[in-house]
Amino acid sequence: MDVPSFRLDDPDNSCEIVQGEERFIITCDNGETLNIRAHDYGEIYKVPGLYEYLFYENYKCKSPTVIRSELEAAVESENQDMSRLKVFDVGAGNGMVGEELVSAGVEKVVGIDIIEEAALATERDRPGIYADYFIEDLTRLPSEVEQKLINESFNCMTLVAALGFDDIPPHAFAEAYNFISESGWVAFNIKEEFCSKKDQTGFSKLIENMTQSGIIDMKSQKLYTHRLCQDGTPLNYFAIVGKKQEDIPAAMIST
């Protein structure tokens, strides 16, 4: 896609800068000015190229390519073929992860996102990447959508830059995970702090329980800089790739 040019100004403020709460003043080509917050995805996706400009050009995000290469390496190490992967891309946004997966040669990608603006931006900027794209809340799926997702027989799930921060909570992660077939691949990233003992989000406990109970067979965990924060601080994430062994039981989801 052609990326239009933008001018970005940080509003004057002396407040502590918190990931996701970063505020920007964006001036578009046509002179229009937007005052937005980093996690106002709906507003950002409405403007073609703005998500790419903000997070990729300006804040050096590289997660879709990191997840793609970690997944490719794991699949290759088991002498499997990317072209066999039927991927469920969770929190798909405007399709940047789907685009990476399609260029890596996967069989198909189906996306899901909670907001309509994500699906509209994907259709506008990356048409044809997703075989299907659902606008749904994973924790409240209508039964017909649930059945469609089961019928897809996914053997891979990707989830990039969408865990925590009022995005996808642990129980929604578990719902998505349970759509993947046994021995299916799982590739996601998660903020380093959410994997620490001090974590309050529930992800650290869930991942530890999944690993210890053999629900996931961990293949790789790479610590890398997901993106920079507005003040230039590196935001470090783990890129995790594993193979699903079993569904996550309901009792584990509520812990």
Ligand X SMILES: C[S@@+](CC[C@H](N)C(=O)[O-])C[C@H]1O[C@@H](n2cnc3c(N)ncnc32)[C@H](O)[C@@H]1O
Q: Which residues make up the interface to ligand X (CB under 6 A)? A: 41, 63-64, 91-93, 96-97, 112-115, 118, 137-138, 160-162, 167-168, 172
With tokens 């990326």, the residue in question is 3
Select 168 or 186, whichever has its Cβ closest to ligand X.
168
Residue 237 neighbours by CB under 8 Å, 6+ apart: 63, 189, 190, 191, 192, 223, 224, 225, 226
In angstroms, give the least distance from the CB of 167 to ligand X: 4
In angstroms, give the least distance from the CB of 116 to ligand X: 10
With tokens 């002396």, the residue in question is 14
Burial of 2-30, coded b for 16+ CB within 10 Å and e otherwise, reads eeeebeeeeeeeeeeeebeebebebebee
For residues 37 and 23, give the distance between their C-alpha atoms in angstroms, rounded to a whole number.
4
For residues 79 and 70, give the distance between their C-alpha atoms in angstroms, rounded to a whole number.
14
In angstroms, give the least distance from the CB of 27 to ligand X: 22
Select 176 or 207, whichever has its Cβ closest to ligand X.
176
With H, G, I as helix, E, B as strand and everything else as coil, classify residue 249: coil
In angstroms, give the least distance from the CB of 138 to ligand X: 5
Select 150 or 183, whichever has its Cβ closest to ligand X.
150
Select 64 or 242, whichever has its Cβ closest to ligand X.
64
For residues 13 and 37, give the distance between their C-alpha atoms in angstroms, rounded to a whole number.
14
For residues 24 and 11, give the distance between their C-alpha atoms in angstroms, rounded to a whole number.
6
In angstroms, give the least distance from the CB of 25 to ligand X: 20
If you count them, how many residues does the chain have? 255
With tokens 């937005």, the residue in question is 36
Select 80 or 148, whichever has its Cβ closest to ligand X.
148
* C-beta nearest to ligand X: residue: 93
In angstroms, give the least distance from the CB of 214 to ligand X: 27
Select 82 or 97, whichever has its Cβ closest to ligand X.
97
In angstroms, give the least distance from the CB of 96 to ligand X: 4
